[in-house]
Structure 1
Amino acid sequence: MRERLTVAFVLLAITVVIGAGAVRSYTILNLLRDDSAAHLREHAELISGLLEERYTEDEPITARYIASVAPEEAKVVFTPEDGEPVVSVGEAFEAGSNDIAVSSTGPLGTVSVTEAGKGLSDIVTREPTMLFTLLLLVATLAGLIGYVAARQLARPLEQLAEAAGALGRGRFDLDLPKTRMPEAQAIGSALRTSAVQLESRIRRERSFSEQASHELRTPITTLRLELEDLMVRDDVPDDVRASAKRCLAQVDGMESSAGRLVELTRGSLMEGAEVPLEQLAKDVAQRWADRLAERRRKLTATVEGDLDLMFTPGPVEQVTDLVLSDVAQAGAGPVRMRLFAEERYLRIRLPAGTISEPGRSRFRRNLPQPGSGVDAARDVATAFGGKVTGSGVADDLEVLLPRR
């Protein structure tokens, strides 16, 4: 996008310069023609006066005499009232399609003076090198301005695209641009609203699944116990015991159906956004390895279990970012992170001492209080149906997230 905006600025600047140059050239050419016409009119009146004096002195009016009083770059035609025209062509005269001609009528006849207009066009266009240099300078300046403007215009849109991609991966802590561009503000507001609505929906689904599981399984379990107790009693007839056994089989079916219904609410968070655990671990480790390297800390990440299990990357990225933000703010030495892939959960462990005590952080003056990221990670993990245990200070820090 930046390249297209920069090229558009350059083309626009060149178009404006060429258009302005064409208008300026046309205006200057007309001014020069008017000025030349005024001078030629003065020459025509002067020549007409000289011819009257020569006629008064009974001197012949010849082409040689007219040439002696006319400009060398002009053509003069004297047309008497009762005679043949006398034509005088200057040595520097060159006829063309843009010739300028004026006439002056006196008692003896009409004097017409014509001057070539080609010289005026040459004056306007006689510096092609200067024009090319001007165009090159304008194009360069427009390119620099266009590049800077393109960066300012494209950056909010790129951030919005990244935020939309994060929302599509299941992340709700969107990094939206701070801009005064109305269109970008509208898109950012829509993304923020969508993130809040999706997060609220996930919380409601989790609450529903927990409540549904409790509301369904509790009476089913009670009924199962009653039926099992009925089956083992000695004072119960055989037909009643057989009926209780059949009912117990139906209870098992109901419990299995209730379990499947609850599992349906725990499906994929974002359909089509899942990635293999191996790829997800590489992305998280690479991003934070670069950030921790700025503080001269090394990140080592290991993955165990089925690496082909699919996970929605958003929740994993969001929780690990919050936890590792505390790691980046406090502590020293290498950071070890272990990921365990289970059938229904992803377990992430960071060993004890990864996050230092608040008072021991050498970055404490310039950074937020260590531990705030872990606290926020607990809330996020709980919203997704997981949990965070430990603090990373005196004991292991463990994150448990469901496969969604």
Structure 2
Amino acid sequence: MRRRLINSTLAVVLVVIAVFGVSLVIVETRTISNSAQESVDSEALRLVSVIEAKVLEHERVDDGVLADQIGPDRFARIEIPGSPQVEVGQRPSGSVIRGTATGEQGERVTVEESRATVTREVGRSLMIIGAVALLAVVAAVLLAVRQANRLASPLTDLAETAERLGSGDPRPRHKRYGVPELDRVADVLDASAERIARMLTAERRLAADASHQLRTPLTALSMRLEEISATDDPETVKEEANVALTQVERLTDVVERLLTNARDPRTGSAVAFDLDEVVKQQIEEWRPAYRSAGRAVVCSGKQGMRAVGTPGAVAQVLAALIENSLMHGGGTVALRTRVTGNQAVIEVTDEGPGVPADLGARIFERTISGRNSTGIGLAVARDLAEADGGRLELLQQQPAVFALFLSRETRPRTEESERTVR
């Protein structure tokens, strides 16, 4: 591209120089020739006037008297009636420029100058024109090289940017070149890079969320299948199979929820549901794991509340909090339901050391973890809660108290009893 730009610019300059240069040479040659002819004619008229004055004063007219009246490299021939012809200067050889003038007394003066003088003057003019043309060509080449670099370098950068996008590096460069058309292309590439970066981030996030969220249902399902394989009691097999089917349904719900959030995190299917059933289901699901760890999980609080949200998403949030307490907490884990205003609140606390002070404000950020875990669970739980119009907060750091706030379905007041389930 650089070569094409340089060649095209140089071709245009050469054409312009050829057209205007030739015209200028022709005009300059004619101008010099006409000027030389006018100078010779003027010389002849001046000599005529000088000779007339001398004739009228009866002075002698010879080459000695007129030698200093003509310019160098010129020849003059004076013809006076009744007097011999007078010649001044050396007669030029070859082609000459001739000027003639006649006086009132019949005097006749002929002035000649060699055309070589005009040729030398034309040659000097041609040299000047050629030098100017050469400077114009050099300037055109330099300008063409500069312009070619200015246009070709940005195109090379843009090609490299497009190649980086194709190779999976979506970082925008935010580099502009001062050329509106190229800057427009750069804007489009940067916008595409940002969109690709968001898509890649969403895909990685979906993969991380899926691996984390599917781990618990798969573990529970595996435990149920192990129970089935280890027993010969038909009733136990039937019971465990029913529980396994429940886990499969929950697994399906988790997958659908993950895909829904991947398409649009704001999309939810909030309905009014019995909060007690979700809490009970989580207690039953996690009790074997806590029993194996020599710990207990209990729940207490108001009974009969109905919240607005997605039961599967609420179950996943509670599962993340209970699992977090199992991994990082200590002692008994307590789930407590209560009412504040028009919201239903589920608090999850344990007797462990709590959340470190330096992690309190960042505990819900991705990759933030106090004990070499993935740091994804609480971030996903917060996103699930917000998708249903609720919120997940850390109310207390030591001991850790997490609270899930959900909108509460309003209905006529019924007697609600305090309960404790172990």
Question: Shared fold by TM > 0.5?
Answer: no
* TM-score, normalised by the number of residues in structure 1: 0.36
TM-score (norm 2): 0.34
Bigger radius of gyration among the two: 2
